[in-house]
Amino acid sequence: MLHPLDIVVGLKAHLWAEADPWSFQRLAARLAISPSQAHTSLRRLEAANLYRRSDRSLRSLAFVSFAAYGIPHIFPATPGPVALGMPTAHAALPLRERLIFAEPFVWPADGGVKGRAVEPLHPCVPGACSADPDLYAALALLDALRVGRARDRSLAVEELEQLLAKPGRDLDWLARQRDALAAR
């Protein structure tokens, strides 16, 4: 069974710059978790066929499908009272540029924007996102799936597909699997 932290770890590993390979220690440090938590999270994602250890990436097509149809049901969010914090969902980039909204959603934190509180997937999220704009965008898009209306969710899926796309990775992996099966 997947845990909310698994989603955060998988996104961070997938979005890590390829020119600067990550280690479990570095990955864990950037998320303020232990290396064993990072390792366990990636193992669970791999068991769910959402992560490939061979190229250290999410199976982006499967992940986006899971995000669109699974995350709102497995990790739902109910907006809470007004609080100060980091904008999320439609109040954060990239949806902020595409949607007009009456009330922002925020991850409660010291200072920031006033809006309805949304509990992040894991307590490490606001700190990790403050130093990583791509991770911030991905997790804000997931929050749009968790709390948004139909239009918000549709746009969030489009943006998530673009953000996670690594040209050829999924197709290359499928080709390697096909070749391996043919060689048997």
Give pLDDT tens digits for 132-141. Answer: 999 999 999 9
Residue 177 has pLDDT above 60, yes or no: no
Distance CA 46, CA 10 (A): 10
In sign, the C-alpha dihedral spanning 19, 164, 57, 129 is positive
Least confident of 90-94, 100-104, 179-183: 179-183
| Angle, helix 4-15 to helix 60-69, in steps of 10 degrees | 150
Give the residue with greater pLDDT, 179 vs 123.
123
Give pLDDT tens digits for 7-57. Answer: 999 999 999 987 788 999 999 999 999 999 999 999 999 999 999 998 899
Q: Can you give the residue ranges of every domain in the chain?
A: 4-74, 82-163
Mean pLDDT of 71-97: 95
Provide the CB-side half-sphere exposure for 4 (13 A, CA): 17
CATH topology of domain 4-74: Arc Repressor Mutant, subunit A (1.10.10)
| pTM passes above 0.85 | yes
